[in-house]
Amino acid sequence: MNWRALIRHETFLALLLVLVLVVLSFQSDRFFTVANLLNQGRLMTEIGLIAIAMTFVIATGGIDLSVGSILGLVAILLGVFWQNVGMPLPMAMAAAIAAGTFAGFLNGFIITRFRVPPLIATLATLALYRGLAEGISQARSVRGYPDWFYVLGQGEVLGVPTQLWILFAAAVIASVILAYTRWGRTVYAIGSNEVASRFSGLPVETTKLALYTASGFAASLAAVIFVSRVSTTRSDMGTGIELDAITAVVLGGTSIFGGRGTIIGTIIGLCLIQALKNGLSLAGVKGDGTIMLIGAVLILAILVSNIFERSGSR
């Protein structure tokens, strides 16, 4: 094994995560406990699911800003389908997720069919989907779901929060797809050079369409978990979650210009942010101090990694 292969962003980030965990556990003896860490996993699942799909999207050089709005829309639709339309809850869940996936498909359709840059297309649908959520909900929230529904967001399976299993499964599947399949390599190829990919016969448009659809699906799944965790629906759910997810993805080493990035990096980035939020709070740092530190860590991590990479490649 070439030691140089280890000098990469993910390694550096993993070391940073270990360092942060060690320091924080000295700050508070309540931090590094199984119960606390599992609970943090519960809290980061929604962002995690979205960030995993976002890793693919960003690796193609795209971006999806509408995920927070899709989350809000799906949450509202879940409630409306169940309470106002009278569907059985499992069917309402499926229908709401289908609608959210379609919203993602629509993003992809606009981007591939009309060649609208992803940032613009999803900025527009960010406003549109949030508006639909507000309009459909008429500011009413839907509550009082049956008990079995809360297993998803508040329950446990084999001692681990239910949604953490879903996040784990999603992460494993996504890593395999991105790293080991032809499809994953197509994603990187598109991100590195879209024109060249098209000329070499790769299914650029189909891949992108599938990715934005998947991103919509991830946001929809996150929405159902979120509703189950907080036991109510509101049209403002998920506001700003797109920036949190993007932060985790870029902190994890995915290049915003495309062509580079791994799922493991995104997961480490996600854990780092969550550990800082939780650990600093336990150590007595207030919320505003914590978000400042996360901002600084983001910039410094990418800066240091850039410096190392440049010196390594020489």
Partner 1 sequence: MGRIVLSAILALSFSTSLSHAQSSWTGGDDLPTNPLACDGTAAAAASVPYDGGQPTNAPDRNGKTITVVDVPKLVGIGYFNATSKGIADAAAEMGTMDAKTDGPSRANIDDQITLIDNYITSGVDGILFAANDPVAISPVLKKALAAGINVVGYDANSEPDARQWFVNQAEFNGIAKSMIDALAAEIGEDGAFAIVTSTFTTPNQARWIAEMEAYQAECYPNMKWLETVEAQEDNILSFNQANTLINKYGDEMKGILGMTSVATPAAADAVTQAGQCGNVAVVGLATPNAMKPYVASDCVKSVVLWNPVDLGYAAAYVLRAVADGTLEPGATSVEAGKLGELQVINGSEILLGAPFVFTKDNINDFDF
Partner 2 sequence: MTAAVDLPPIRPRNGARRQGFLRRLFADYGQECVVLGAIVLLFVVVTFINPRFVNTNNLITIFSGNAYIAVAAIGMAMVIMTGNIDVSVGALIGVLATIAGTLAVSGYPIWFALTAPILVGMAVNTVIGVLVAYGRIPSIVVTLGALSILRGGLIGVTGGTWITDLPPDFLIAQKRLFSIPVPLIFMIVLTVAAFLWMRYSAFGRSIYAIGGNPEAAVATGIPVERRLVSVFAIHGAFAGLAAILFATQLQVIQSTVPPNLELTIITATVIGGVSILGGTGTVIGSTLATILFATIGSALIFINVSAYWLRAVIGLLILATVLADMLRRRGRA
Q: In which element (H, E) is residue 193 found?
A: none
- In 3D space, the residue among 71, 4, 62 whose CA is nearest the CA of residue 190 turns out to be 62
Q: Does 245 bind partner 2 (CB under 8 A)?
A: no
- In 3D space, the residue among 246, 293, 257, 260 whose CA is nearest the CA of residue 66 turns out to be 246
Q: For residue 98, give the 3-state DSSP assignment.
A: helix
**Residue 118 vs 216, nearer CB to partner 1:** 216
x-marked contacts with partner 2 along 276-305 as a string, rule CB under 8 A:
----------xxxxxxx-xxxxxx--xx--
**Residue 182 vs 310, nearer CB to partner 2:** 310
Q: For residue 232, give the 3-state DSSP assignment.
A: strand
CA dihedral 182, 183, 187, 192 (to 10 degrees): 20
What radius of gyration, in Å, describes the C-alpha atoms of the chain?
20
Q: Does 120 bind partner 2 (CB under 8 A)?
A: yes
Interaction residues for partner 1, span 246-285 (CB under 8 A): 277-278, 281-282, 284
Largest separation between any pair of C-alpha atoms in the chain: 64
Q: Does 229 bind partner 1 (CB under 8 A)?
A: yes
Locate tokens 């169940």: which residue? 82
x-marked contacts with partner 1 along 6-45 as a string, rule CB under 8 A:
----------------------x-xx----x--x---x--
CA–CA distance, 105 with 86 (Å, rounded to integer): 26
CA–CA distance, 68 with 112 (Å, rounded to integer): 21
**Residue 152 vs 264, nearer CB to partner 1:** 152
Minimal distance, residue 135 CB to partner 2, in Å:
4
Residue 255 touches which member of partner 2, partner 1, none, C-beta under 5-8 Å by kind: partner 2
**Residue 62 vs 72, nearer CB to partner 1:** 72
Q: Does 230 bind partner 1 (CB under 8 A)?
A: yes
When binding is defined by CB under 8 A, the residue of 117, 135, 295, 312 that contacts partner 1 is 135
CA–CA distance, 201 with 183 (Å, rounded to integer): 13
Task: Name the E strands within the chain.
Answer: 156-157, 160-161
When binding is defined by CB under 8 A, the residue of 34, 86, 195, 314 that contacts partner 2 is 195
Minimal distance, residue 301 CB to partner 2, in Å:
9
Q: Does 137 bind partner 1 (CB under 8 A)?
A: yes
CA–CA distance, 266 with 250 (Å, rounded to integer): 7
Binding residues (CB under 8 A) for partner 2: these are: 65, 110, 114-117, 119-121, 123-132, 134-135, 137-139, 194-195, 239-240, 243, 246-247, 250, 255-257, 286-292, 294-299, 302-303, 306, 310
